[in-house]
Amino acid sequence: MSVIKSFAVGEGDMFYIEHNSPSFTIIDCCLDNGNEDAILKELSALSGQKEIIRFISTHPDDDHLCGLELLEKKLGGIVNFYCVRNRVTKPDETVSFNKYIQLRDSDKAFFISKGCKRKWMNEESPERAQSGIHILWPNPDNQHFKEALTAAEDDGSPNNISAVIQYSVEKGVTALWMGDLETGLMENVEAELNVPKVDILFAPHHGRESGRIPDSLLTKMVPKIIVVGEAPSEHLHYYPGYDTITQNSAGDVVFECETGKIHVFTSNEYAVDFLLDESRNREGFHYVGTLILDSIA
């Protein structure tokens, strides 16, 4: 079994994947609303049981890297730092952004792009299994990405240089993260976004209307659950016609991923009508229900 957790961190993003292998993956960081002690304790305990620990930055925006210096200290260093290649700077640098720069420009950095390969990320070896993580975007040669990168490096928003990250397991879960990609960029690069069918889709830009996924992409992904983030409710897009979990109400969301099924838990009491009841338990969480995957449906 592997576990995916989406932390409720306000208007920011932070996730981890506890792989059914010697790997542990953290995606983005947001430790700025009094949650840092509990989150860091949890991450330290879980990652301490693994051999390979990687941090993936979708893009260098404050609400995706806040507290990165605290995370690095708690983990005793970040030796596998994954990010999109960029030279973004900020006029008002923070401690967290400076830590991002330090890691990005160090020998710990691995620059991710569409189709990139990395041992134990998506390539196995005789001593360790791969982790099922694939990078679907960006394509550094795409003109729309080049324009977004130029804008970001000229003190513009880095949203549209976000990576698209897929995590998949044979006969099990397929999950997708899209950082803070905005609708216009997704429309412009859709022909190159070879998205799979998806069980769990984390809506980009915290679920905002500005990051609404085009209907044509949703038709390709056919997501079974869309997790809508914690942007203010008046800015959210709720994806009518799709089954959703809204993190503003649900709190932390945990997905226990087994062969053929996913058990869903939330830190707040939360109810949906599209999951089966298999009477599962997880300490400190409320059981919402179980999603049966196509492999055994």
Across the chain, what does the average pLDDT equal? 96
pLDDT-derived band at 22, boundaries 50, 70, 90: very high
pLDDT at 265: 98
The alpha carbon dihedral of 178, 182, 183, 186 has a sign of negative
Domain ranges of the chain: 2-165+241-292
Nearest to 181, CA basis, from 154, 211, 215: 211
User: Which pLDDT belongs to residue 127?
Assistant: 86
pLDDT at 297 over 50: no
Pairing of strands 29-30, 15-18: unpaired
Residue pointed to by tokens 């960006």: 138
Q: How confident is the model at residue 44 (pLDDT cuts 50, 70, 90)?
A: very high
Mean pLDDT of 22-36: 92
Residues 6+ apart with CB under 8 A from 88: 60, 152, 153, 158, 161
Residue 295: per-residue pLDDT: 56
Separation CA 180–CA 93 (nearest Å): 20
ω before 138 within 30° of 0 (cis)? yes
Render pLDDT for 58-104 as a digit per residue (tens, 0 to 9): 999 999 999 999 999 999 999 999 999 999 999 888 999 999 999 99
pLDDT of amino acid 92:
87
Which helix (H) or strand (E) element contains residue 75? Answer: helix 68-75
Instruction: Please provide the distance, in angstroms rounded to a whole number, between the alpha carbons at the two ends of the chain.
Output: 19
Average pLDDT over residues 261-279: 98
Q: pLDDT, tens digit, for every residue of 144-179?
A: 999 999 999 999 999 999 999 999 999 999 999 999
Q: For 3-41, give the DSSP string.
A: EEEE---SSS--EEEE-SSSEEEEE-EE--SS-HHHHHH
91-129 pLDDT, tens digit each: 888 999 999 999 999 999 999 999 999 999 999 988 888
The answer to whether residue 191 scores a pLDDT higher than 70 is yes
Q: What does the pLDDT average to over 223-237?
A: 95
Could you tell me the maximum CA-CA distance found in the chain, to the nearest angstrom? 53
pTM of the predicted model over 0.85: yes
